[in-house]
Amino acid sequence: MSNYIKDAFSRMNLYQIRAFVLYGTEQKSHNSETYKDRLENATVPLHNRINSLYTDQAELTEAANDIANALSAFEEVYMEVGMKMGARLVYQLLVENEQYSQ
């Protein structure tokens, strides 16, 4: 097998596809932390910052709610986009491939 084919197969993983679809680049390294750890590690600095900015509990709650609402919108949009991309790939693999083999 040529190096080209071997290289293509080595890039065929979730992390490489995600990096390419989101950023148009190849991911150089893989974060081996669990999803739970990645989310917690990304959240701690945000919590620390917001807690240092707002000493009034009502303002802190309002700011935290604003951030949560924004993150929920990102979560919903990216989930829907990801599902549509996955469906498009399945369609191309199953339907469009059949058109070429007939």
Pick the residue with more confidence: 33 or 102? 33
pLDDT the model gives residue 1: 52
Question: Is a pLDDT exceeding 70 seen at residue 101?
Answer: no
pLDDT in tens, 57-99: 999 999 999 999 999 999 999 999 999 999 998 999 888 766 6
pLDDT in tens, 13-67: 788 788 888 888 877 777 889 999 999 999 999 999 999 999 999 999 999 999 9
| DSSP codes, 29-93 | S---S-HHHHHHHHHHHHHHHHHHH--SHHHHHHHHHHHHHHHHHHHHHHHHHHHHHHHHHHHII
pLDDT the model gives residue 18: 82
